[in-house]
Amino acid sequence: MVIGVPKESFPGERRVALVPAAIPNLTKAGFEVVIEADAGLSAGYPDADYVSKGAKIVAERAEVFRAADVVVQVLCHGSNDRTGAADLPLLRSGQILVGFLRPLGAVETVQQVAATGVTAFSIEMMPRTTRAQSMDALSSMATVAGYKAVVLAANTLPRLFPMLTTAAGTITPSRVFVIGAGVAGLQAIATARRLGAVASAYDLRPAVKEQVQSVGGRFIELPIVAQDAQDARGYAKAQDEAFYQRQKELLGKVVAESDVVIAAAVVPGRKPPVLVTREMLHKMAAGSVIVDLAAERGGNCEVTRAGEIVAENNVTVIGYINLASMLPYHASQLYARNVSAFLLHLVRDGQLHLDAEDEIARETLITQGGEIVNARVREFFKLPALNS
């Protein structure tokens, strides 16, 4: 069975789906690996490194798709809303596609993937279980993004992060406030603490309090309680507008006292809630920084513009998207480990094994035989149930 790795085509995307170090385990399992020329160069992996590990380099993108039984990408059509559609004519019926597909984004996009006949697996739908932990690419990329968010903030903030005692006097530490203590948020807290800042965090899920404290953060508790705060996968669930309004009122004081706010409150398949209003931003000290990790889907800050830096009332709001791509060497390394573990789980003796009792395969399988077959996706888009 041949794995094909095309070069990522999303503008500015520097990651690659497989790194050279991942290839020996795959070839040992019976796979052949074909890489598009220079696919890993932007991430720091030249073609020669792939060849030395047993991969074959091909010059043309179409040739990768023709040769591959399994196509592995970082951003497939769906998550790549700029150039991903150009790959649809290159896909064929029965081929396996693995990558980020954003299956809860737009039903038309998922239907376009299904129409090619590919058996498509969406890596971001991986169940959050111990068994699937080594395949959880969403968490891996969130870890990178959380780290990078704090580094961007530290580079932008006109203050030092750590407390310093000098001959000229003592400098107080910066205050970093993280909204949303998921994987990205927890990594942001840990990174801020390593840089010497005082870090605190809020999440509508009370269960994450111990996790925040375990990485050195102070958990902010508000006198409101979310109803049914998290889903079965551990992600935050959307609340009604009355809850978010009260939440914003209570968060305002904490935001105003913070030098840096890292906004990382994302609800899968939903528009992120606006938790930092323009009014709240105007109460922050001059020079403060907000990094909005939810920018791509609308943002947690009212003034955020996706892909841009906005300055308002002397506060800088960073709305960069795809932060993991800013650290492509290690982001690709982590992603390659996740995808390799997933492929070795799915394919045995050169054949794809789909077991209806296997939660990993069942939850990630999105399209097969020209149909959207994932129950969660069909329910989300209110599609009729498939006949058994």
Active-site residue numbers? Answer: 128, 133, 136, 139, 235
The phi-psi region of residue 29 (left if phi > 0; otherwise alpha if psi is between -120 and 50; otherwise beta) is alpha
Class of residue 333 by CB neighbours under 10 A (exposed 0-12, middle 13-18, buried 19+)? buried
Pick from 300, 373, 81, 128: which is nearest to 231 by CA? 128
Let me know: does 172 contact 228? Beta carbons within 8 Å: no
Distance CA 47, CA 70 (A): 20
- Give backbone dihedrals phi and psi of 190, rounded to 5 degrees, phi first: -60, -40
Annotate 360-373 with b (16+ C-beta within 10 A) or e (fewer). bbbbbbbbbeeebb
> Closest Cα to residue 50, out of 94, 20, 71, 80?
20
Indicate the length of the chain as a whole number: 388
- Among the listed residues 41, 114, 128, the one whose alpha carbon sits nearest the alpha carbon of residue 78: 114
Taking phi first (over 0 means left), then psi (-120 to 50 degrees means alpha), and beta for anything else, what does residue 226 get? beta
| DSSP track, 192-232 | HHHTT-EEEEE-S-GGGHHHHHHTTPEEP--S---SS-B-T
Instruction: Give the phi and the psi of residue 374 in degrees, each rounded to 5.
Output: -80, 125
The C-alpha angle 111, 116, 117, rounded to 5 degrees, equals 100
Contact (CB, 8 A) for 179 and 260: no
Helix, strand, coil percentages for the chain (3-state, nearest 5) = 40, 20, 40
- The span from the CA of 99 to the CA of 157, in Å, is 35
